[in-house]
Amino acid sequence: MAGMVNADAARDRADAGKAPVAGLVLAAGAGSRFGQPKALVRGADGVPWLVRTVRVLRSAGCSPVVVVLGAEGAAAAALLTEAGLIDAAAPAVAGPDRATLVVHAADWAEGLSASLHAGIDTVLGLAGAVGAVAVVPVDVPDLDAATVARVLDADAGVTPDSLRQAVFGGRPGHPVLIGRAHWEPLRAQLTGDTGARPFLLAHGVLPVECGDLTTGADVDTLPGVPEA
């Protein structure tokens, strides 16, 4: 299943000579249009979106997966603990295979840039040869491992210069793959709630069509509740 954790996926990437890729889940927002933080939302199957997103990234071979929390961060971290993805005693370094790291963005209310700042700062500090990071927000509940894998493995694979984005029928979506060479320049340009989109456009992000795999739709409001 796409959402199941494959503990060997990252090792398989290394054995195939592919650059290690970290995952980055942006889950710090208050979800004002949704009525609650999306990090706490559960799907129809009862699995929290946050837990499912981490599992999908790990299943696709991302390791570690960095989770940026903010609003209701303690409650969101508890969901990861209940799922066995982090250790409550040491969430920043733990998990059954030390593959999931939790970061709390103290300034999360300043917008998406604050979450990206926190995530990029974390991956910059990772030991080892992580060559890129796959960025996904928590509110794309139909994301699957096949979509992530396609973006990771497109063209020549992953290099520090990689800059790719999943598109769905031409519509930009996630994951966004950002090679290490772009981390510092992106970090320097982040501001407010704009995210990485201006940087991606300015630096020629490569679209990877994934519309045959899933919708890639992000969910901003509860069903039946119109957007403000």
Q: In order of start, what are the domains of the chain with their CATH numbers?
A: 19-209 (3.90.550.10)
pTM above 0.75, yes or no: yes
- The pLDDT of residue 5 is 40
- The pLDDT of residue 197 is 92
- The pLDDT of residue 169 is 97
Write out the H or E segment, with its range, that includes residue 49: helix 49-59
**What is the pairing mode between strands 171-179 and 163-168?**
antiparallel
- The pLDDT of residue 22 is 96
Contacts of residue 192, Cβ cutoff 8 Å, sequence gap at least 6: 110, 111, 112, 113
Q: Helices (H) and strands (E) in the chain — how many of each?
A: 7, 7
Closest CA to 30 of 223, 224, 220, 225: 220
Token output for 206: 């490569």
CB 115 within 8 A of CB 38: no
**pLDDT per residue rounded down to tens, the chain (228 residues):** 333 445 455 555 554 457 789 999 999 988 877 778 999 999 999 999 999 999 999 999 999 999 999 999 999 999 999 999 987 655 554 344 458 999 999 999 998 899 999 999 999 988 677 999 999 999 999 999 999 999 998 766 899 999 999 999 999 999 999 999 999 999 999 988 788 999 999 999 999 999 999 999 988 755 543 333
Edge-first strand listing for the sheet containing 163-168: 100-104, 65-69, 21-27, 132-137, 171-179, 163-168, 206-209
- The pLDDT of residue 94 is 39
